[in-house]
Amino acid sequence: MTHERTFWQDKRVCVTGGAGFLGRALCRRLRSAGCTSITIPRRAEYDLTDSFAVRSLLEDCRPDIVLHLAAEVGGIGANRQNPGRFFYANMAMGLHLIEEARLFGVEKFVQVGTVCAYPKHCPVPFREETIWDGYPEETNAPYGIAKKALLVMVQAYRRQYGFNGLFVIPVNLYGPGDNCDPDSSHVIPALIRRLTEAKDSGARSVCCWGSGRPSREFLYVDDAADAIVRAARVVNDSEPINIGTGVDIRIAELAGLIAELVGYDGQIEWDTTQPDGQPQRRLDVSRALRTLGWRAETSLREGLRRTIDWWQEQRQPVDPLPSVSTLS
């Protein structure tokens, strides 16, 4: 901890997406590590898809380290409706931030990638070396490919310019403060909201998208923040690093666990006319253990309990929701 505080105490840090779900957890973690100078750019002031705005941001905050979390992303419905926007926005933000950070002489740049970059039929567990072995799952490929292109960029910039860019790949995140909007939320917050409201309304059944057979790995948001802060401190190469638990769960089992935790005892039905997304996602997390000395600490049951407690404390009554997307 002494080394950590010594590293961060004099660093000026810019956290793009710092007001978002992962960003808030990351900023809390930075403060606990001793960082006192954190800039969180807001879209109203800095449009990160515009190179001039990015240049202004760096001139204004003069960061030593940039942690690039900002992204446009959502569940299966949002990905199907906005493939062009998701590709453009994510590609443009990373492209301009990396280039301007290089020109500005930023000491270290951490690009946060996505598990969606892995091939649809990638051998399980996903190893970093297999990220190029096929095309991503089609419904979120534009988002995944944009992020994967930024991996190429940080590696190319290290070779040509000596730019100290890192690339971490978190698995699906969840936790208190997650997005529970029915039109854009991922599977865990969507299921928590849907099943809580089904319990409150006395609904006998809940219908979810897909078959329930695919599996996903989930990482508690505070664990992800801890891994990213540690990577920013100790890593000085551009090889991608998986960040996850190394444990997956079928979506049907996940729904059953959430139903148990919220106290819903009705029927969970599955709409198999809707797509499942990638069949299975589970990461090989051995590189994170080896290079960061890091492993996830929060069990899925405990993380879900905390997330459900948060949702029940702050939620407002709403109208009944449509079917839940299981792609995240």
42 CB burial (10 A radius; 0-12, 13-18, 19+): exposed
CA distances to 221, 233, 262 from 301, in Å: 14, 30, 12
Sheet holding 172-174, edge to edge: 172-174, 215-220, 248-250
- Please list the alpha-helical segments (H only) found in 10-132: 21-32, 51-61, 76-81, 83-104
What values do phi and psi take at 31, rounded to 5? -65, -40
Task: Give dist(CA 229, CA 209) in Å, integer.
Answer: 35
Q: Are 136 and 119 in contact (CB under 8 A)?
A: yes
AA letter at 9 = Q
- DSSP, collapsed to helix, strand or coil, labels residue 107 as coil
**Does the active-site annotation cover 264?**
no
Other beta carbons within 10 angstroms of residue 168's beta carbon come to 22
Bridge-based pairing of strands 205-209 and 108-112 is unpaired
Pick the catalytic residue: 46, 118, 143, 157?
Answer: 143
Nearest-10 Cα torsion for 198, 223, 99, 17: 40
Contacts of 118 by beta carbon, 8 Å cutoff, 6+ apart = 126, 130, 131, 136, 144, 278, 281
Concatenated DSSP letters for 220-236? EHHHHHHHHHHHHHH--
* Buried-state track 111-124, b at ≥16 Cβ within 10 A, e below 16: bbbbbbbbbbebeb
**Does the CA dihedral 75-138-128-89 come out positive or negative?**
negative
Start-to-end CA span in the chain (Å): 34
State the catalytic residues.
Answer: 143
